[in-house]
Each structure stands twice: as structure tokens, then as C-alpha cells.
Amino acid sequence: MSGLLGLYNYWIVIILMMTGFYAVIARPNLIKQIIGLFIFQTSVFILFISMANIEGGTAPIIKEGIRLYSNPLPHVLILTAIVVSLATTALGLALVVRIKEAYGTINEDNIHVQDEED
């Protein structure tokens, strides 16, 4: 892998991240935003895991006869981050349910209209 070819991997991941990010900030539907957030975060995880990769390496479970392992630290970090992302998703969805009950809609534009009427 030479030159910029060694980086295209990251670029695709960045495009993925931005796809999710776009859904978060551009879509008025709350569930869609949560989905966007999920994609955004998952893509960030991919970025981390990509950086842990080592050419010719293998999973960091020590075994006789294997010399080269991938970096375990990002894996650990991402394990934690996945959990955090799940927690956020769960909480966000719970809020969405409550918002639906209180406003009768989960469209941000409609909610703003109702808020202004208050």
C-alpha cells in the first residue's frame, strides 16, 4: 500500500460517518435522528478498529505460534464506546416515546410549532 491508496480506507469510513451525521442534523424525524446517530457512532468505531489493524496481524488472543497481533487497545475502547452508544440510543428512544405521547408527533418541525403555541 503506497501513497494515498493507504488512506482510502479511512476516507470511506469518513464518508460513512458524515452520512450518519447528516441524518442527525438534517432530518426532522426524531427516530431518524437516532438512527443517524447510531450510524455516525458505528462508523467512528470502524475508524478506531481500522487503526488497530496491522498488516498480517491476527486477533489479539495469545496463541502459540502467532507472532503478530492486532492492537488490542482500540478494541477495548470501542467495546466501551459501543456500550455507550447503546445507552444513548436507549435513552434517546425512551425520550422519543415520551415526546410522541406528549406532542402526538415525532417530527421536529411540528414539535417546534406546538412549542411556540405554548
Partner 1 sequence: MFIAISAVILVAIAIGLLRAFLGPTLYDRVLAANMSGTLTVLMVAVLGFMTGRPEFLDIALVYVLISFVSTIAVLRVCGTGCGASRDPEADSGEG
Partner 2 sequence: MEILIDTILLVLLMITGFSIVRMRSLLAATMLTSIYSLLSASLFVVLDAVDVALTEAAIGAGISTILLLATIALTTDREKPPQRTPMLPLIVVIITGMALIYGTLDMPHFGNPQAPVHLHVAPAYLHDTPGEIGIPNVVTSVLASYRGYDTLGELAVIFTAGAGVLTLLGYRTRGGNSMDPGIRKLLILRVIGKLFFPLILLFALYVQFHGDYGPGGGFQAGVIFATGFILYALAFGLGNAQRLIPHQLLRIMVAFGMLLYIGVGIESMLLGGKFLEYNVLADDPVSGQHLGIILIELGVGITVASVMLMIYYVFRSRQPEGDL
Partner 3 sequence: MLISDLPVLQVVIPLAAAPVCLLLRNPRHAWACALIASWLVLAIALMLVQRVHAVGTLSYAIGAWVAPWGIEYRIDMAGALMVLVVAIIGALVMPFARRSIEHEILEKCTGLFYTCYLLCLCGLLGMVVTGDAFNLFVFLEISSLSSYVLISLGSRRRALTAAYQYLIMGTIGATFILIGVGLLYMMTGTLNMVDLSQRLPEVANTRTIMAAFAFVTVGVSIKLALFPLHQWLPNAYTDAPSVVSAFIAATATKVGVYVLLRFFFTVFGMQFSFDAMHVGEILMLLAVAGILIASLVAVFQDNVKRMLAYSSVAQIGYIILGISMASAAGVSAGMIHLFNHAMIKGALFLAIGCIFLRLGSAELRDMHGLARHMPWTMAAFVAGGLSLIGIPLTSGFISKWYLASAALSGGYWPLVVLILASSLIGLIYMWRVVEVAYFHVPGTMMHKVREAPAVMLIPTWLLIGINLYVGMDASLITDITRQGAEILIGEALQ
Q: Is 118 a residue that touches partner 3 (CB under 8 A)?
A: yes
Q: Which of residues 28-87 bind partner 2 (CB under 8 A)?
A: 28-29, 31-32, 34-36, 38-39, 42-43, 45-46, 49-63, 68-80, 82-87
51 vs 64, beta carbon nearer partner 3: 51
Sign of CA dihedral 23, 29, 30, 31: negative
Which residues does residue 107 pair with via DSSP β-bridges, in sequence order? 29
Pick the closer one to partner 2 by CB: 33 or 118. 33
Residue number with CB closer to partner 1 (53 or 114): 53
The set of residues, in sequence order, having a beta carbon less than 8 Å from that of 6 and lying 6+ positions away, is none
Helix axes 8-26, 30-52, angle to 10 degrees: 160
Least distance CB 77 / partner 2 (angstroms): 8
